[in-house]
């Protein structure tokens, strides 16, 4: 497996420098994601320059992602069409970069953002919208020969392993894969106190479609109502060893991306992962 990073470099991937890439490699990172909101504006020279910078530092091209990808279930038809077209452009960019996956965000009916709750997110109507949007993206992904990686989240339309399984089967495309991230699916005290059960359910249902993964941690805030917050890897409640062992078993060469950290904290996260890995028998390339 390769330890990667989401947004170690915070800007558009075209602004990455050799200095920043070298700093990432020095921390033990092996892959950096490529983020942009202008996939149709990327020139061949810019794509090649990015790949050359990573190659010089011994880094792999990571997952392609963009911030404008949250409207796949929008109630505004124009917004949904715009998002589908954006994702189709991202698929074309993924091929040009030789990236392993294109990140697919399920979105939300909440106008405040794609990772915000809404009472309709769990409805069949919204799932049907997402299936239709994803099929349109998959047509282009199949044509470009690239792999999509959809991610779930407890507040999103894809709120559980069972729901994600139903979605992937409904879309029915070889281009659609899954991005494992069990922290996103913590929605109850039972799951928080027994993360291995959630991890096993996710891999038993979705392991065959898993093409990428996020690595992070969470904690339960001690207050009257259940409230979960992300924390740095190794100090939270997720059974990281169980998670990484399942990843290694199904796809030994997978990119496992650390995410949601300020740049200065990636080094500590890599170190924590390696400590956990040594005792669990997990191997990193």
Q: Which domains does the chain have, with CATH numbers?
A: 2-280 (3.20.20.150)
Can you give 222-281 as a three-state secondary structure string?
Answer: CCCCCCEEEECCCCCCCCHHHHHHHHHHHCCCCEEEECCCCHHHHHHHHHHHHHHHHHHC
Q: What is the pLDDT of residues 233-265, one digit of tens each?
A: 999 999 999 999 999 999 999 999 999 999 999
Beta-strand (E) ranges in 90-216? 102-104, 148-150, 176-180, 210-215
Mean pLDDT score of the chain: 97
Q: What is the pLDDT of residues 122-158, one digit of tens each?
A: 999 999 999 999 999 999 999 999 999 999 999 999 9
Pairwise CA distance, residues 217 & 67, whole Å:
22
State the pLDDT confidence band at 2, using cuts at 50, 70 and 90: very high
pLDDT on residue 50: 98
CB of 114 closer than 8 Å to CB of 107: yes
Q: What is the pLDDT of residues 82-111, one digit of tens each?
A: 999 999 999 999 999 999 999 999 999 999
Long-range CB contacts (< 8 A, 24+ apart) of 249-253? 250/203, 250/207, 250/208, 250/210, 251/1, 251/210, 251/211, 252/1, 252/283, 253/1, 253/2, 253/285
3-class secondary structure, 24: helix
Is the predicted pLDDT of residue 69 greater than 90, yes or no?
Answer: no
Rounded to two decimals, what is the model's pTM? 0.97
CB of 72 closer than 8 Å to CB of 105: yes
């Amino acid at each position: 497996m390769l330890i990667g990073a989401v947004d170690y470099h915070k800007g558009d991937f075209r602004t990455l420098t050799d200095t920043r890439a070298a700093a990432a490699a020095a921390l033990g990172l092996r892959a950096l994601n490529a983020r942009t909101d202008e996939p149709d504006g990327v020139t061949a020279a810019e794509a090649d320059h990015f790949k050359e910078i990573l190659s010089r530092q011994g880094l792999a091209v990571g997952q392609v992602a963009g911030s404008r990808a949250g409207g796949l279930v929008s109630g505004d038809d124009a917004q949904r069409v715009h998002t589908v077209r954006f994702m189709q452009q991202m698929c074309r960019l993924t091929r040009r970069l030789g990236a392993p996956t294109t990140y697919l965000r399920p979105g939300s009916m909440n106008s405040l953002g794609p990772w915000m709750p809404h009472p309709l997110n769990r409805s069949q109507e919204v799932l049907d919208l997402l299936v239709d949007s994803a099929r349109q993206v998959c047509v282009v992904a199949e044509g470009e020969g690239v792999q999509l990686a959809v991610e779930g989240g407890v507040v999103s339309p894809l709120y559980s392993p069972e729901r994600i399984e139903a979605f992937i089967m409904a879309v029915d495309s070889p281009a659609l894969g899954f991005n494992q991230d069990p922290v996103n699916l913590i929605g109850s005290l039972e799951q928080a106190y027994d993360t291995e059960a959630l991890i096993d359910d996710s891999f038993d249902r979705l392991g065959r479609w898993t093409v990428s993964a996020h690595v992070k941690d969470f904690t339960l805030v001690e207050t009257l109502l259940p409230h979960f917050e992300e924390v740095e890897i190794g100090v939270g409640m997720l059974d990281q060893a169980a998670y990484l062992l399942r990843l290694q078993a199904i796809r030994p060469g997978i990119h496992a991306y650390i995410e949601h950290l300020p740049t200065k904290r990636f080094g500590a996260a890599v170190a924590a992962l390696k400590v956990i890995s040594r005792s669990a028998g997990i191997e990193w390339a």
